[in-house]
Structure 1
Amino acid sequence: MSDLATIETKRLILRPMQATDHDALQAMIFDPEVVAYLRYRRLSTPAAFNEAFENHFLADTTTVFGIETKADHQLIGFYEFHPEATTGILTYAITPAAWGHGYVAEAGRALMAYGFNDLRLDVLEAHYASANPNSGRVMAKMGMHDDGEMETFKLDSGEKIHVMRYVLTKNDWLTEISA
């Protein structure tokens, strides 16, 4: 496994974050629509973002990927694995201008191969807020299977959020790609 993995799809380049991604990523992280249900919604100051950018997004070159379009080489989002033993929990975010174009599923399918083959994970998992059913549909398009509700929590606004889980095992993935 290379320390600096770059993966290409038909329309995207998935690559380690670069210092030049700072402003585009900060704009995404500070957009409440983008991070409404992500842990990054707590990064509310430039100093907090800069610390996360330096210590996580730039520092982790094997499990954090910028999503760049091949057409114009713009950063449109990020994907990351949060490895826990042999399970990788996927997190992603994409700028609103790129919503609805199939980029998240395209990137996700490519990163599943990376997760299973290079990171040697046995299970990939992704979570989404029930208030954002589009994320669940994306996970299904990636071949993941609905595993039901994981937990419920309340946002600062008082809104109750049901966290749903999708899962794909390496065995299921191998069966699907060989079919």
Structure 2
Amino acid sequence: MSDYFETERLICRPFKLADAEDMLRNWASDPDIQNEYGEPVYTDIEQVRELIRLYTDPKSPKSRYRWAVVEKQSGENIGQIAFCKIWDDCKTAEAEYCISKRFWGRGYAGEALSALISYTFMNTDIVKLEAYHRAENIKSGRVLEKSDMHITDTVQRFVREGVSPEGEVCYCIEKDEYLRKCLSDIII
């Protein structure tokens, strides 16, 4: 199994310590980005290096299924895409993503998410991929709306917490439906 995947414009690969400067400049220090998906704002390079150490330590839960999103043209780390939660008992994962504001409006988040969906169902034993966004996070909502995922009532995170989503819009896609769609695209 490959540890990276790519698209026409992006490489999604494991993090490296060399990503620290790009991360700090492009997204890890930006409160608008970090707060949107519940991560702290990093203010100096050493904090970001420590985060990368967590992302690259095989013993850390933060290292499992997490990729730097690198724009091929510039070679810059412009964001990340990951499974922020994995429930092994039901083979379900929750996706998260962020892209630097400097790169918004170019379709990069959607491109990375589409590649992640394909990678997930072709290379892992995960059978359901989920995501959600806060209703007021319209940009993230547009990414999910345009993806192969569809709106659903809830996701594993809320089921496990015993709460109903309030103010969140939930999405999912199952492996079987993704594979059927791929097959129908080939036939057409």
TM-score range, shorter chain: 0.7 to 0.9
Provide runs of 4+ in structure 1 moved above 3 Å. 43-51
C-alpha contact 1:136 1:166 (8 A) present in aligned 2: no
2-structure distance, mates of 1:44, 1:15: 21
1:164 aligns with 2:178: no
Asked if 1:73 corresponds to 2:75, the answer is: yes
Residue 83 (str. 1) matches residue 86 (str. 2): yes
Matched residue count: 166
Which structure carries more helix by proportion? 2
Which amino acid in the other structure matches residue 89 of structure 1? Answer: E
Query: Normalized against structure 2, the TM-score is what?
Result: 0.80
Partner of 1:33: 32
Which AA in structure 1 matches 2:28? I
Render the CA deviation track for 1:93-145: whole Å, top value 9, x for unaligned.
00001111111111111111211222211100011111112212211222100
Counterpart CA distance in 2 for 1:11 and 1:17 is 18
RMSD (CA atoms)? 2.0
Structure 1 segments unaligned to the other structure (5+ residues): 153-161
The superposition leaves residues 47-93 of structure 1 with CA deviations (integer Å, 9 ceiling, x where unpaired) of 654433211x2336650111111111111110001321201100100
Equivalent residue, structure 2, for 1:159: none
In structure 2, C-alpha distance between the alignment counterparts of 1:63 and 1:34, rounded to whole Å = 20
For 1:36 and 1:134, locate their aligned partners in 2 and report how far apart those are by CA, in whole Å: 14
SS in 2 for 1:36: helix
Change (3 A) 1:44 1:70: closer
Asked if structure 1 preserves the Cα contact closer than 8 Å seen for 2:16 and 2:52, the reply is no
Instruction: Please state how far the C-alpha of 1:44 moved relative to its aligned partner.
Output: 4.7
Other structure's SS at 2:75 match: coil
Match of 1:146 among 146, 151, 176: 151
Q: Distance in 2 between matches of 1:73 and 1:26?
A: 15
- The residue identity in structure 1 corresponding to 2:165 is E
What residue in structure 1 maps to residue 53 of structure 2?
54
1:15 maps to 2:13: yes
Distance 1:64 1:45 in 2: 22
| Kept after mapping to 2: 8 A contact 1:65/1:78 | yes
Which structure dedicates a bigger proportion of its chain to strand?
Answer: 1
Q: Which runs of 5+ in 2 are unaligned?
A: 155-163
Give 3-state SS (helix, strand or coil) of 2:80's partner.
strand
Q: Give the Cα–Cα distance (whole angstroms) in 1 for the partners of residues 150 and 140 of structure 2.
A: 13
Q: Percent identity?
A: 27
Q: Which of 93, 117, 121 pairs up with 2:126?
A: 121
